[in-house]
Chains A and B, each alone.
Chain A
Amino acid sequence: MSLVTLGVVAILFAAGTYLILQRMLSRVVIGLGLVSHGANLLIMLSGTGPAQPPVVGESPVAAVADPLPQAMVLTAIVISFGVTAFLLALALRSYLLTGSDAVEDDLEDLRIRGADGAEKGSAT
Chain B
Amino acid sequence: MSWLLPAVVAGPLLAAGLTIFVGRRLWLQRGITIVGVGFVLGAAIALLVAADSGSAQVTQIGGWAAPAGITLVADRFAAIMLTVSASMLFLVLIYAMAQLRRDALDWWFHSKYLILTAGVALSFVTGDLFNLFVGFEVMLIASYVLLTAKTGPGEVRATMSYVVINLVASAMFLVIIAFVYLTTGTMNLADLSRVMVDIDPAIRNGLGMLTLVVFGIKAALFPLFMWLPDSYPTAPTPVTAIFAGLLTKVGVFVIIRTQTLLFAGDEPSTLLLFVAGATMVVGVLGAIAQNEIKRILSFHIVSQIGYMIMGLGLLSVAGLAASILYITHHIVVKTGLFLVGGLVESEHGTGALDRIGGVLHRRPVVAMLFLPLALSLAGMPPFSGFVAKLALVQEGIALDHGLIVGVSLMVGLLTFFSMTKIWGAVFWGRETEATDRAAPGMLGATVLVVALSIAVAAFAGPLADLAARAAGDLIDPAVYADLVLGAGQ
Residues of A within 8 A of B (CB): 1, 20, 25, 28, 32, 35-36, 38-40, 42-43, 45-52, 54, 68-69, 72, 75-76, 79-80, 82-83, 86-87, 90-91, 93-94, 97-98, 103-104, 106-109, 112
Contact = CB atoms under 8 A, between A and B. Distances in A.
A76 B179 contact: no
A20 to B, nearest CB: 7
B274 interface: no
Contact of A49 (B172, B185, B292): B185
A90 B230 contact: no
A97 B179 CA distance: 42
A54 B181 CA distance: 13
A51 B168 CA distance: 27
A94 B172 CA distance: 27
Contact of A83 (B144, B153, B172, B295): B144
Interface string B158-185: 1111011001101110110111011111
Given A69-B178, A109-B230, A112-B291, 6 more contacts: A28-B164, A36-B174, A39-B171, A46-B178, A51-B186, A87-B163
Contacts, number: 119
Q: Of residues A38, A39, A87, which shows the largest number of chain B Cβ atoms within 10 Å of its Cβ?
A: A39
A46 B179 contact: yes
B167 A49 contact: no
13 contacts: A32-B168, A35-B168, A36-B170, A39-B171, A42-B174, A42-B179, A43-B178, A49-B183, A54-B68, A72-B177, A72-B181, A87-B164, A94-B160
A-B CB proximity, top 8 nearest: A51-B185, A39-B174, A46-B182, A54-B68, A42-B178, A49-B182, A50-B185, A46-B181
Nearest to B159: A90
B143 to A, nearest CB: 11
B181 A90 contact: no
B154 A107 contact: yes
Contacts of A46: 177-179, 181-182
Given A48-B182, A49-B185, A90-B160, A97 B171 contact: no
A38 B174 CA distance: 10
B209 interface: no
A75 B133 CA distance: 10
Interface string B138-157: 00010011001001111011
Interface string B292-332: 10010000000000000000000000000000000000000
B474 to A, nearest CB: 27
A35 B160 contact: no
Nearest to B64: A54
Contacts of A93: 151, 156
Given A42-B174, A42-B178, A72-B130, A90 B185 contact: no
Nearest to B174: A39
B347 interface: no
B174 A50 contact: no
Contacts of B152: 97
Given A20-B168, A32-B168, A83-B144, A39 B292 contact: no
Given A43-B178, A90-B156, A106-B157, A83 B141 contact: yes
Nearest to B289: A112
Contacts of B333: none
A42 B151 CA distance: 36
B171 A75 contact: no
Given A39-B171, A51-B186, A108-B295, A97 B178 contact: no
